[in-house]
Structures are given as C-alpha cells and as structure tokens.
Amino acid sequence: MVVVQAANVIYLPPGVAPVAAQVPQSTVPFDRAFFEQVLPGAVSAFCEQTGCEGPIVEVLTVDGTTHYVNGISGLTDTWVALHTAEPEHDHAVQVFVPYQTIFRVEVHPSSDLHPGRLGFITTPAKAPRKRRSTPSAPPEAPHAPPAARSGGAARK
C-alpha cells in the first residue's frame, strides 16, 4: 500500500493544538495592511536590489486605469487615497481608489522619459527651515590694507 501525504499538511507534536490566526484575513489582496505595511518595505527592498532612486509604482484598477503613485495620502478600511502623477500632465492628482477595484500593483525602476514626476517618494520631505529674525547689521566698511589697519607701514 502506498500512502500519499499532502504537501500542505502540518503535523503537530502530541498535545499541541493549532492556534487560530490573530489577524483577520481580508477578502481583497490589496487592502489597508498592504498599503501601510507591505508596499513601503517592498519599494525600499526593490530600490536596494535594483539601485534605483525614484521607482515607479503603478496601481492598476479593473476599469483599465493605471495610477502612477507618488505617495499614499490617506487610508481607510475601504479605500486608499493616492497622490498620483500623469505622464501627459505636469500637475499632481489625488485619487481615492476602493481596494476591491485594485487588481495589480507594479514597481519599476525610475523612468528616463519622465524623470522625477512619476516616481514614488521614498524619503520624507524635509521640513522648511525657520529663518531667525535678526536685526539688520549695518554694512561693513570696506577692508583697508593691513598697513592702514595697524596704523603704520607694513613690515618686510
């Protein structure tokens, strides 16, 4: 008799009971957890492996639209707000996309066709530096030659 065992069966030692998953599974593959926890690390790992500085992240939806993502500007349990760019336009767009409409997410090296505009922002923006308010200093007098400053002739 030949016994065939399934590859996905896990045999536990006596007395050990399987534990139910602690994280509820979503019915859609690209959900809030994906955009919060998986995508940022995946983009960073991709950049380390390929040496790209501004990767192109594309979110493709069931209506045939490709969203070129610069960043994620908001998340709820039902939709993601994407900060996007379009190859044909110079202005940014914010798009609210329901998770159930996303069928693929792609990461590509930066594009030579549209440098910087379509790339995913991987580093946080720097806060603007505050200017110190200092009173205006009077203009300095022009520099006099060394002999004039010392009050005598220059030594040799």
Strands, sheet with 79-85, edge to edge from the N-terminal-most edge strand: 93-98, 79-85, 66-75, 56-61, 102-108
Q: Is residue 10 a part of any domain in this protein? A: no
Total domains in the chain come to 1
Q: Is residue 99 a part of any domain in this protein? A: yes
Q: Is residue 57 a part of any domain in this protein? A: yes
DSSP structural state of residue 124: P
Q: Is residue 95 a part of any domain in this protein? A: yes
Q: Is residue 134 a part of any domain in this protein? A: no
Return the CATH number at 48: 2.30.30
Question: What's the pLDDT tens digit per position in 115-147?
Answer: 554 555 555 544 444 554 444 445 444 454 444
Domain that holds residue 84: 32-108
Q: Is residue 52 a part of any domain in this protein? A: yes
Question: What's the pLDDT tens digit per position in 42-78?
Answer: 988 888 888 887 788 999 999 999 999 988 999 999 9
